[in-house]
């Protein structure tokens, strides 16, 4: 099957630089709505037969234009929600951002025992995301879209997708409505078919001024990581 992981459109949390990970989360900005509409046009042209979203409202708002074009009803799956910020929830200060991104970087490097302060370990995150992907695959979809989150997408891909460049790409930034398409299955593994770190529809839909902590590039460091 083909599995397309789409990051949600820009939110007010992204523009504020806040670690907004709890349900229901903040809404899309006006730019985020335009990003969602542009992504829908691109994805509808190539055809999809399933749309899956997280419980956070931003993924559901991002999926709405594609659902309208395709006539598909998005299915909410808890497993594809963002990595919980725990004690850092809604923080905007440098140390909190560093704590969150540093933990994500540990997981990308395979140090899955690390626990997000007040939240889950890497093992726990992967278990819930894996369960959601397995449910989608079991439904017999041929090309499904998961509207998910920046840190979650990159972390899951870093641990579950083969290919020599996957790890390095997972540490790069992922813009709002950027997409990664995979081919394979939970049983056989996944390979990257397409990886775009830019917004679907064109770079003109991006906001380079937004702090966007969960979409930023990270650098690996065993003692925790720095935010670029």
Report yes or no on 224 lying in a domain: no
User: Is 168 part of a structural domain of the chain?
Assistant: yes
Q: Flag whether 108 is in a domain.
A: yes
DSSP letter for each residue of 78-106: GGGSPPP-GGGTT--SHHHHHHHHHHHHH
pLDDT value at position 222? Answer: 37
- Residue with token string 């997000």: 116
8 is an active site residue: yes
Task: Say if 142 falls within a structural domain.
Answer: yes
In a domain? residue 227? no
The answer to whether 82 is a known catalytic residue is yes
pLDDT tens digits, one per residue of 20-79: 999 999 999 999 999 999 999 999 998 999 999 999 999 999 999 999 999 999 999 999
| Domain count within the chain | 1
* Mean of the per-residue pLDDT values of the chain: 93
Report if residue 221 sits inside a domain.
no
- What's the token pair of residue 139? 């439904």
CA 100/CA 104 separation, integer angstroms: 6
Return the number of other C-beta atoms located less than 10 Å from residue 111's C-beta.
13
- Give the C-alpha distances (Å, rounded to integers) separating 52 from 31, 38, 61, 201: 22, 18, 12, 20
* CATH number of the domain enclosing 179: 3.40.50.1240
- On whether the CB atoms of residues 11 and 175 are closer than 8 A, the answer is no
Given the residues 12, 30, 37, 82, select the one marked as catalytic: 82
Q: Work out the burial of residue 93: count CB atoms within 10 Å of its CB; fewer than 13 is exposed, 13-18 middle, 19 or more buried.
A: exposed
In a domain? residue 12: yes
86-119, pLDDT tens digit by residue?
Answer: 999 999 999 999 999 999 999 999 999 999 999 9
Residues spanned by the domain of 143: 2-215
Of the residues 8, 37, 149, 175, only one is catalytic, namely 8
Residue 225 included in any domain: no
**Cβ-Cβ contacts under 8 Å for 87 (sequence gap 6 or more):** 117, 118, 119
Report the DSSP pairing between strands 75-76 and 50-53: parallel
């Amino acid at each position: 099957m083909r599995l397309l992981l789409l990051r949600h459109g820009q939110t007010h949390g992204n523009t504020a630089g806040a670690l907004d990970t709890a349900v229901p989360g903040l809404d899309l900005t006006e730019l985020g709505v335009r990003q969602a509409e542009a992504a829908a046009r691109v994805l509808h042209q190539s055809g999809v037969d399933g749309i899956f979203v997280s419980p956070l409202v931003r993924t559901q708002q991002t999926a709405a234009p594609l659902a309208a074009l395709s006539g598909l009803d998005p299915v909410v799956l808890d497993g594809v929600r963002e990595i919980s910020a725990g004690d850092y929830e809604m923080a905007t200060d440098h140390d909190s951002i560093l704590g969150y991104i540093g933990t994500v970087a540990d997981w990308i490097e395979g140090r899955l025992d690390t626990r997000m302060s007040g939240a889950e370990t890497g093992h726990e995150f992967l278990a819930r995301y894996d369960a959601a992907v397995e449910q989608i695959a079991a439904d017999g979809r041929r090309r499904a879209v998961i509207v998910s989150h920046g840190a979650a997408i990159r972390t899951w891909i870093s641990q579950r997708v083969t290919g020599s460049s996957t790890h390095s790409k997972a540490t790069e930034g992922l813009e709002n409505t950027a997409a990664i398409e995979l081919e394979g299955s939970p049983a056989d593994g996944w390979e990257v078919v397409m990886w775009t770190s830019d917004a679907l529809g064109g770079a003109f839909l991006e906001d380079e001024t937004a702090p966007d902590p969960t979409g930023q590039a990270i650098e690996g460091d065993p003692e925790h990581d720095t935010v670029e």
